[in-house]
Chains A and B, each alone.
Chain A
Amino acid sequence: MNHPTRLLAAAALFALAAPASAADKVSDGVVKIGVLTDMTGYYSDLAGPGSVLAAKMAAEDFGGKVLGKPIEIVSADHQNKADIASNTARKWFDEEKVDVVADLVSSSTAGAVMPVAMEKKRITLLSGPATTAFTGEKCTPYNVHYTYNNWMLANGTGREVVRQGGDSWFFITADYVFGKSLEEDTSNVVKAAGGKVLGSARHPSPGTTDFSSYLLQAQASGAKIIGMANAGADTVNTIKQAKEFGITPNQSLAGLLVFISDIHSLGLETAKGMYLTTSFYWDLDDATRKWSKRFLEKHGKMPTMVHAGVYSAVTHYLAAVKAVGTDDADAVIAKMKATPVKDFFAKNGQIGPDGLHRHDAYLVRVKTPAESKYPWDYYAIVKTIPAAEAFPSVEAQKCPLVKK
């Protein structure tokens, strides 16, 4: 072979080598995102198939590829059982090359998956879980708590409601870790804002359909506000029965964790006047309306904040992967924390060093039927809570990973 040919051969080899090294940077040649959610149980409407759809929309909108490699979305049902969640995540990481897990929905499943993800060095994007400690004492280097947490709910609803005059509270609480911590967080906020907590009743969950007894206790206490530290079917039944027992004209209900899917199933006649805090509302502005209408077409229902959070988190993740040129967890998470989030979901979003995504939140009041002009016109925005007030500060969170 003479020199020009050798040179040509070398150049060809070089050309072939270059994309190969880029391919090595994306593990297994595909960016696989696993949506682990509750498809059949109590939280399937606020997350579930809608979350999977949101992730798929995010992948599509991103172009279906990142760094020349395809994006694949897989999903599984953890049925709200921590052990199924843990096993599925482990299998995904060990066998099926999943790079990141999204949604998770409930705090117990998230708490089970986060240690597994940390061990295997994969990112978790929490959209549904609420436990504040996930970016506090239980924080992990690969976790992002994206959509909301108990602190946000407690402060948003608790503080604002006290400011508006609701200074005596009685709690109806789901008797498990989530409910009790939500009650505790909100009690602290109410007391700090100058209010009083007159009592609480803890009901078994699931397993309670009749709340009349607890509502009667709340009524007897004379509290101005009945705080519902529960979620899903429990909250819906409590609200319905509060109306039935004539509680609502004299006392107000504060829904500590309520989603638009709950309001939709209750109807405005029953839910009107209730205060709640949310990270997202479809009818906020043109950008949210545009995205939500696309979602509505495919899903048949308007998105909850969990759905919108999944879309935004997945998009943010993909953008970070593209920017750093690899899907290696350490590099990507660093980039995610370094880049502010500016999309229809978060106007001023920033993922802190503890993994908590701090963004604006909204205190809303459920409209009366007369005020509602078109389908899904459910919320009146009472106040926009800026990110710094809506979420606890990095110092307050005390995540052990954050260096002082």
Chain B
Amino acid sequence: MIQALSGQLLLGLINGSFYALLSLGLAIIFGLLNVVNFAHGALYMMGAFAAWMGLEFLGIGYWWALLLAPLAVGLVGVLVERLLLRRLYGLDHLYGLLLTFGLTLIAEGLFHHFYGNSGQSYPVPGALQGGFRLPFMYLPIYRAWVVGVSLLVCLASWFVIEKTKLGAYLRAGTENPRLLQAFGVNVPVLRTVTYGFGVALAAFAGVMAAPIYQVQPLMGSSLVIVVFAVVVIGGMGSIAGSIVTGIGLGLVEGLTKFVYPEASAVIVFMVMALVLLVRPAGLFGRER
């Protein structure tokens, strides 16, 4: 029993770190730009597809894809911000959400048109194949890699935002953009960079996911509302909050899959409703 449980908890941890990575981008975009980026799931999907297309058409392997795919998709994000999102700052959250929802539909529809739905296969890179024979389960090396990298990227992002000067500018830009601009900081560029970074994080998660989940147009659509729930539970202004919550929820979901699997898709929402009723701005957030 302990054996079975340990295995499930470890899997929960792996999934949790993945959720943390995904929700990080979303939390950054909401925390610093006040945009509810519903396109996060589609951007994740585009990252995975970028990795696949890089391999299929240009022979670019996994390791380069980890760098290039987020750059490519990040560029798309930058374009979206400059041409479309920029016009909505100052308006209600609702519009940003609706716009990004519309963009999601466009992206999913286009990819579906060209690539159908069964999905494409992306191989696990050679160096990461195989696994560790733990006493309670077989742990694929790739999964261990996912945990490691996710946590590293999360910590690095948190550090940059909370502890560096660049991060200070970003946070100041949320509080009082005009004052920051008066100090000579180019706030619009800062905003664009932030959105691009959040998008790149989503795409990065997509590349990480490509070897383990089939690369298909709808791969982000069921994930996106879960990731939203994670960010909301953690507190929409808090970077650390979404990281911790992501991992925590991965564990909760893992336990649910073991005890009552039918509920594993809805448990996140139950937790979210409970948390929001007790702590209004999420576990770590500040109400705006």
Q: Which of A226-256 contact B (CB under 8 A)?
A: 232-233, 236-237, 240-241, 244-246
Q: Which of A321-338 contact B (CB under 8 A)?
A: none
- Within the assembled complex, what's the spacing in Å between the Cα atoms of A261 and B121? 12
In the complex, the answer to whether A44 meets B140 with C-beta atoms within 8 Å is no
Selecting from B28-36, B53-61, B194-202, B212-220, the interface stretch reads: B212-220
Counting chain B CB atoms within 10 Å of each CB, the highest count among A216, A236, A246, A267 belongs to A216
Q: Which residue of B lies closest to A261 (CB)?
A: B118
B92 interfacial by beta-carbon distance below 8 Å: no
A210 interfacial by beta-carbon distance below 8 Å: yes
- Within the assembled complex, what's the spacing in Å between the Cα atoms of A209 and B7? 18
B148 interfacial by beta-carbon distance below 8 Å: no
In the complex, the answer to whether A265 meets B214 with C-beta atoms within 8 Å is yes
Which A residues are in CB contact (< 8 Å) with B7?
216, 220
A262 interfacial by beta-carbon distance below 8 Å: yes
Q: Which of A149-167 contact B (CB under 8 A)?
A: none
In the complex, the answer to whether B112 meets A212 with C-beta atoms within 8 Å is no
Chain A 92-107 near chain B by CB (<8 Å), digits 1 or 0: 0000000000000000
In the complex, the answer to whether B140 meets A262 with C-beta atoms within 8 Å is no
Q: Which of B201-258 contact A (CB under 8 A)?
A: 212-214, 216, 218-219, 222-223, 254, 257-258
Chain B 2-16 near chain A by CB (<8 Å), digits 1 or 0: 011001100110110
Give, as a whole number of angstroms, the nearest-CB distance from B175 to chain A.
Answer: 38
Which A residues are in CB contact (< 8 Å) with B15?
210
B167 interfacial by beta-carbon distance below 8 Å: no
- Within the assembled complex, what's the spacing in Å between the Cα atoms of A262 and B254? 27
Which listed residue, A42, A201, A265, touches B261 by the CB 8 Å rule?
A201
Which A residues are in CB contact (< 8 Å) with B258?
213, 217
B62 interfacial by beta-carbon distance below 8 Å: no
- Within the assembled complex, what's the spacing in Å between the Cα atoms of A261 and B117? 10
Given A214-B261, A245-B131, verify A45-B117 contact (CB < 8 Å): yes
A41 interfacial by beta-carbon distance below 8 Å: yes
Size range of the chain B interface in the assembly: 35 or more
In the complex, the answer to whether A213 meets B257 with C-beta atoms within 8 Å is yes
Which B residues are in CB contact (< 8 Å) with A44?
112, 116-117
- Within the assembled complex, what's the spacing in Å between the Cα atoms of A324 and B3? 68
- Within the assembled complex, what's the spacing in Å between the Cα atoms of A206 and B220? 12
Which listed residue, B109, B117, B265, touches A204 by the CB 8 Å rule?
B265
Counting chain A CB atoms within 10 Å of each CB, the highest count among B112, B119, B131, B263 belongs to B119
Chain B 105-138 near chain A by CB (<8 Å), digits 1 or 0: 0000100100011111100100000010000011
Give, as a whole number of angstroms, the nearest-CB distance from A320 to chain B.
Answer: 33
A175 interfacial by beta-carbon distance below 8 Å: yes
In the complex, the answer to whether A204 meets B264 with C-beta atoms within 8 Å is yes
A207 interfacial by beta-carbon distance below 8 Å: yes
In the complex, the answer to whether B117 meets A42 with C-beta atoms within 8 Å is yes
Q: Which residue of A lies closest to B223 (CB)?
A: A209
Give, as a whole number of angstroms, the nearest-CB distance from A373 to chain B.
Answer: 20
In the complex, the answer to whether A203 meets B118 with C-beta atoms within 8 Å is no
- Within the assembled complex, what's the spacing in Å between the Cα atoms of A210 and B254? 10
A87 interfacial by beta-carbon distance below 8 Å: no
Which listed residue, B109, B116, B120, B142, touches A244 by the CB 8 Å rule?
B142
Given A203-B261, A265-B120, verify A240-B222 contact (CB < 8 Å): no
Which listed residue, A175, A208, A217, A245, touches B140 by the CB 8 Å rule?
A245
A binding-site residues for B, Cβ under 8 Å:
40-46, 175, 201-204, 206-210, 212-214, 216-217, 219-220, 232-233, 236-237, 240-241, 244-246, 261-262, 264-267, 270
A-B contact pairs, 19 of them (CB 8 A): A40-B117, A41-B117, A43-B117, A203-B257, A203-B264, A208-B264, A210-B15, A210-B212, A216-B11, A216-B137, A217-B4, A219-B138, A233-B117, A236-B119, A236-B214, A244-B142, A244-B143, A246-B131, A265-B214
